Chain A
Amino acid sequence: MADKATMERLRDKVYEYRKDILQLCYKAKGMHVGGDLSCAEVIVTLYEYVMRIDPQNPSWEDRDRFVISKGHGGAALYLVMAMRGYFGKEELLATYKGHETRFGMHPCKTLCPELDSSSGSLGHGLPIATGMALAGRLNKKSYRTFCMVGDGEMMEGAIWEAAMAAAHYKLGSLIVILDRNRLCLDGFTEEIMGVEPVAGKWQAFGWNAIVIDGNNLKEVMDVFDHLPVPESGVPTAIISQTVKGKGVSFMENNPAYHHAVINDEQFRQAIEEIEAAYQQTKGGAKA
């Protein structure tokens, strides 16, 4: 359960994550930073609190699976895995996006076997996760499969093919987290290609849809604490309403930070803002 100590631990991890994401973005001279910041609370909570995993044994058959269907969020995944000790954070910081790296912009399982899957081309991750969930049933395993889908990714037809199949095959162990940060590459989703009503679409496809504030750690922990049991036979879509670029004023809701390079001054300001917000929350928690 989401006790106070766990919550404080996760709050600290989210803070560490946001600072490291900015560090990666600054060092790599360009990254999909906006979406990595929007999904911070969810992806940190998954890897630090929710998922049944063993970083020492990444191919453990009974582990929960995670597929980042919005594959441009590769850095987010590498970072939480480094935080859990799948590989060293130093290695990640030193080599991310570098020549011949194993931590490329879009995740590659061949180069980085600790991953559950490669991803990158939008619309591909959810079908793969659906197959993993089905394999879990066939192999009589009790693991869950988590799949993070971007809201712009809802425009891809294959997402809905998989949504239909997961409901048809009653894959209650499959959990989608839809990072609803309202922006895709070119601008706001509702201007590019409207995806609303989001929850209604997943419900209409036979999913259990739950809407949360995905940048509110307590709501994030609560939703994972109360997931329906896999035997429910109904897959769950968590519509995680977030802010793209969350935590950095000049990045928030700004399409320019879907993928961006940040200079020295921007990096300094971003870190300052993250630190100030953290100190404030920490102070508030103590009071």
Chain B
Amino acid sequence: MKLFGPHEKVLAASRTVWDQSFTAMAEKYPNVIAMTADLSRSICTETFRKKVPDRFFNCGIAEQNMIGMAAGLALCGKIPYCTTFAPFASMRSGEQFRTDACYMGLNVRVIASYGGIPIAGPSHAGLEDAGIIRSFPGATVVSPSDLGMISKIFEASVDYAGPMYIRLGVGINEVYLYDGNYEFKIGKAIKARHGSDATIISFGMILQQALEAALELEQEGIDVGLLDMPTLKPLDREAVLEAARDTGKIVTMEDHSIYNGLGSAISEVLAESGVPCKFKRLGIPDLYPSYGAQEKLRNKYGYGYAAAVEAIKGML
């Protein structure tokens, strides 16, 4: 497995990547259904709609019914993938996902885009979504940390038993970081980079910021490991504890509220483990963010790569 550096990272339009990956998977598996709440042109399922029209259902602007219908389809053996924005997926139809899909343990997949701070503003921003869904018994929460991982998640999701919340980023400046030559397993962390002085654990597309922080610290002779955590739930506790034992210093990074997301999940593991470890959470603070580009707002709110560099230096 190779991790591309920032100077060689490969840009692509993430929505196109996911549309193509999803369509390729759906063509292979006849029980896969695509549903959307009038967001087919935003969270692209256009290729799917054109190639597999009889398995594409636009539910209109009605997220609750979409997830309820998905539960009904799943009760009859289908594997529905429902697309909408993260705040709608986790809150507007959050109860349907909990009480219909999770309570019955159904193979409903929610694909939530705009995880983080999208240009559209807080009404459309997935700030709390992963934390909300994480608290539903039986739910699995996954987020790709680079574009290549999207197809790996889709492949892994087809045979996966139970409901899944697949959290996509905001869809801007997303890149290929991995060369693709690695095994992806739901519930398993990926040791993206070895390091002995400290570990950054990240959730989602913010991995590229974690990588930049590690490379900057490397210039100063500080050896930082990267533990990529695409699955927030079930959490790979062993990998967290191993990082705590090996480096004794952990910083978490996520495009999510500082509450209830990755940082909270990791702190729960550490606090109960008895393993001594310095610890810092970086994420969206307890506020409704401004409009603007996510990359600039990460810096404004102190959870981007510069904040990670500072946090790690503070621990040494």
Which chain A residues have a beta carbon within 8 Å of chain B's beta carbons? Answer: 108-110, 116-118, 120-121, 123-124, 126-136, 138-139, 157-158, 161-162, 164-165, 168-169
Contacts and interface: CB of A to CB of B under 8 A. Distances in A.
B39 interface: no
Nearest to B108: A131
Nearest to A147: B72
28 contacts: A109-B104, A110-B103, A117-B71, A117-B75, A118-B100, A118-B104, A126-B68, A127-B69, A127-B71, A127-B72, A127-B96, A128-B71, A131-B70, A131-B80, A133-B72, A134-B57, A134-B72, A135-B73, A138-B54, A138-B55, A138-B78, A158-B64, A161-B60, A161-B65, A162-B68, A165-B65, A165-B69, A169-B57
B62 interface: yes
B276 interface: no
Contacts of A133: 72
B59 interface: yes
A227 to B, nearest CB: 20
Contacts of B75: 116-117, 128, 131-132, 135
Interface string B134-178: 000000000000000000000000000000000000000000000
A103 B131 CA distance: 32
A191 B74 CA distance: 38
Q: Which residue of A124, A127, A169 has the most chain B CB atoms within 10 A of its CB atom? A: A127
Interface string B91-130: 0000110011001110000000000000000000000000
Contacts of B316: none
A128 B76 CA distance: 11
Contacts, number: 102
Interface residues of B, number: 30
Contacts of A120: 99
Given A161-B62, A165-B59, A130 B104 contact: no
Contact of B99 (A121, A129, A161): A121
Contacts of B33: 138
Per DSSP, chain B at the interface is helix
Contacts of B72: 117, 127-135
Contacts of B99: 118, 120-121, 124
Contacts of A131: 68-76, 80
A139 B71 CA distance: 16
B77 interface: yes
Contacts of A109: 104
A75 to B, nearest CB: 19
A130 B65 contact: yes
A123 B69 contact: no
Given A134-B73, A139-B77, A127 B64 contact: yes
Contacts of B64: 123, 127, 157-158, 161
Given A116-B75, A118-B103, A128-B71, A162 B65 contact: yes
Nearest to B95: A121
Nearest to B61: A161
Contacts of A169: 57
Given A130-B72, A134-B73, A169-B57, 11 more contacts: A121-B95, A124-B95, A124-B100, A127-B67, A128-B69, A130-B69, A135-B72, A138-B78, A139-B77, A164-B65, A165-B62
B105 A158 contact: no
Contacts of A135: 72-73, 75-78
A184 to B, nearest CB: 19
Given A117-B104, A131-B70, A139 B96 contact: no
Closest 4 CB pairs of A and B: A131-B72, A127-B68, A135-B76, A161-B65
A124 B66 CA distance: 11
A118 to B, nearest CB: 5
A138 B80 CA distance: 12
B103 to A, nearest CB: 6
A127 B65 contact: yes
